[in-house]
A and B are shown apart, each in its own frame.
Chain A
Amino acid sequence: MFIKRIIGMKISVFATILIVTLGFAISSYAQVQHTSMDLNGYIFKDAQTRDSLVTKFGEPDNYRSITTEFGKDEEYRFGQNAIRLTNNGIFNCFILNDNRFAIYTFAINGGIRVGDSVNKFLQLGFGTLQFVNAELYNFTYLSDFPLDIHHVNGIITSLQYCSSTI
């Protein structure tokens, strides 16, 4: 009886530890995902190549590149949207003018895209939405690079984001 009680306690302690550990893991996972803005589930980390972009976003409708003292600058156009790389493949900007791509897909179901309500940013549960003017908000979360949210009557018309070392 006593032994059974000991075993029972061990199981419950073990279960508790397991639950807590899992909880932390899930929480940490969620936090990692929150801190990085993704584009269609893709987080720009290392230098990109044309292949890596095409694999993820498809063949661009228009592409141009120009070489500067920093290396190659590129612009990929997908319909009304654009992704710019700089300095030989380093992510520079995305500009979304239609609902083809979504951002923060890890953080909110379906992500946020053109045509959604600006309020969806409030549902993220993190970040700061800053009023700039009647047609523009800035959204930032642990970043010096704001996401520009253009809207008309609260409906997103464009999402634009750039990060830079300059």
Chain B
Amino acid sequence: MKKFLLISFVLSLLGCTKLDNIQEEDKQGKSIGNLVRKDLVVKMPNYSAQINLTKSQNQSSLTPIWDSAFTVVTKSGTHILVPLDVDKSLRLLSFTNSLKKTYSNSIRGYLAFKGIQTKGDGDDDPTVIMVGDDELSSDGMYTGVFTYSEPNGDVSYSCVFENSTLKYLIVPDSLQGTTPNFYKDTTVNISLLLEEDEWNLSIDGGAVCVALRPTIDFTLNRYVLPHTQHITTFWSMMMPDHLAGGSSNEEQRMESDITISLVAGPGGRVSGGGKYPPSHTSVSISATPDKGYKFDKWTGDFAGKPQEFSIPLTRNMSGTALFKKLSICMDLINGKSNPLPIMTLAPPSINNIRGALWGETRMKDGKPVWHYGIDLDGEIGDPIYSMFEGKVAFRPIDGQPNRISKSYPAGYSGDMNDAGNRIYIESIVNGENVLAGYFHLQAGNPIAINPRTGDFFKLGDIVYPGDIIGYIGITGNANILNPHLHLTINRGNRNPLDFLNVTYNQNDIYLKTPCNY
């Protein structure tokens, strides 16, 4: 162990030396262009840089290739910012991760990878901000700022580009410290780029700002700049403490409490964090999304873990749970849209899946009975979205309580229709008048707030597609065993499937949408 630490120390010195050499070049302006940022900025235009990563457990080798990069050291690992050289005809060729997902486009302009806060790019793709030609100067250069925030929203980073070159990185004052602790121990969402077993970033030009942080499974070994033959070996300070410490973790566990630090990104909650005495051997950790969100993934030490898991308490660990805001899948050009992000049928019984559909799909006393809508599965309180632009038709019914064993509470004298609390939206869809009824809304607060008036949606209000108009409930003839949205179109005279952006496969309760939900 002592030998190992000694070697680490020597390597650390080597690493410092190598990096210092590069910093010297920086200060002298050699091959640094106009990219300047303190002592840690390195730019090697028109050259390839190779970064070799080693997975700490099985020693698999990873070799993403970039044009150039500079590093920022943090207590929890290494951040690498990669400003690529810019020319006037830039194009992102492809991005492939271990799941063999390939992101590619041929949009000219400048690109910035912004981590994993995806918006329709797919679960494993980074968000890509594309700067259109109209944002470029006459000579094709880009000056502007890309800003991204940590999942918890309290820290933002900005990549400032000037004339298409990453000029500098802005971090909040609170995070700046003395070199090399440029950042404090922060979890940047981009770190997930390193969670995959292998990945490759292949870029043919582009202004790209990528921040990476090795996770628990990885440690950054070498940073190779082939054109200068600089080989920067990262020293132990760059590694997360737990990796640098090696087998001493167990000893640490024997003596001290272990802290599990959890952070919830916007749209959810986490549980299981805290300080645990040595008597605790494991902890259950879970992430719970709020209504309208779904769990996305863990970052940090828990990267790759499912929504709920147990983990042995061997050392201090931290992680952030990220959540995705759900949205509906719309194809308004073709007059199709969905009222819920996840479209699942809610049949009256598992023996009759078709019973959730519109038409003569139900049986009563052995005879077919018409069902004037489609029943979509959900949970009480799930948001319901307007499918189309339109107006609120009729006064929304919002006073129905939940039935208690098919009866209304004593003294209740209001609306008692099976539809329960409900709202109608009147729209014109491809020239056709469409009256969409959303039934069985929750008791209490069934109708959503109109974001434009600050009041509950009411008769005559304008509604836009994607507006949350109400919440799923069990009023009317829905019940606690089967909360659902009953969607009816034109008073039951049209099949809602004609207007939904889904594909229905017989005997399957899951309706497939063209979107990635």
* Bound: A166/B352 CA distance, A: 16
* Bound: A64/B372 CA distance, A: 25
**Per-residue A-contact encoding for B394-434, CB less than 8 Å = 1, 0 else:** 10010000000111000001111111000010000000000
Is there an interface contact between B366 and A35, defined as CB atoms closer than 8 Å?
yes
Number of A residues contacting the other chain (C-beta, 8 Å)? 32
Least CB distance, B197 to chain A, in whole angstroms? 47
Q: Is A105 an interface residue (CB 8 A)?
A: no
* Bound: A73/B413 CA distance, A: 12
Q: Is A142 an interface residue (CB 8 A)?
A: yes
Query: Contacts A69-B394, A144-B369, A150-B405 known; A164 to B363 CB distance under 8 Å?
Result: no
* Bound: A35/B367 CA distance, A: 9
Is there an interface contact between A93 and B364, defined as CB atoms closer than 8 Å?
no
A95: chain B residues within 8 A (beta carbon)? 405-407
* Bound: A6/B371 CA distance, A: 59
**Per-residue A-contact encoding for B477-497, CB less than 8 Å = 1, 0 else:** 100000000101000100000
Q: Which positions 327-351 of chain B face chain A at CB distance < 8 Å?
A: 348-349
Interface of A is mostly: strand
Is there an interface contact between A73 and B362, defined as CB atoms closer than 8 Å?
no
Chain B: residues with CB nearer than 8 A to chain A? 348-349, 352, 355, 362-367, 369-373, 394, 397, 405-407, 413-419, 424, 439, 476-477, 486, 488, 492
Query: Contacts A142-B365, A148-B406 known; A164 to B418 CB distance under 8 Å?
Result: yes
Which of A36, A66, A145 has the most chain B CB atoms inside 10 A of its CB? Answer: A145
* Bound: A158/B406 CA distance, A: 11
* Bound: A66/B416 CA distance, A: 8
* Bound: A74/B457 CA distance, A: 28
B349: chain A residues within 8 A (beta carbon)? 140, 144
A73-B417, A144-B349, A160-B407 given; 11 more Cβ-contact pairs under 8 Å: A35-B365, A92-B418, A142-B365, A143-B363, A143-B366, A144-B348, A144-B362, A145-B362, A148-B406, A164-B477, A166-B439
Least CB distance, A143 to chain B, in whole angstroms? 5
Q: Is A16 an interface residue (CB 8 A)?
A: no
Query: Contacts A165-B372, A166-B486 known; A36 to B417 CB distance under 8 Å?
Result: no
* Bound: A77/B439 CA distance, A: 26
Least CB distance, A124 to chain B, in whole angstroms? 14
Q: Is A53 an interface residue (CB 8 A)?
A: no
- Which chain A residue lies CB-closest to B351? A144
Is there an interface contact between B417 and A68, defined as CB atoms closer than 8 Å?
yes
Query: Contacts A82-B407, A166-B418, A166-B419 known; A144 to B363 CB distance under 8 Å?
Result: yes
Is there an interface contact between A158 and B405, defined as CB atoms closer than 8 Å?
yes
CB < 8 Å neighbour of B476 from A35, A64, A144, A166: A166
B365: chain A residues within 8 A (beta carbon)? 35-37, 141-143
Is there an interface contact between B370 and A165, defined as CB atoms closer than 8 Å?
yes
* Bound: A66/B417 CA distance, A: 9
A29: chain B residues within 8 A (beta carbon)? none
* Bound: A142/B355 CA distance, A: 13
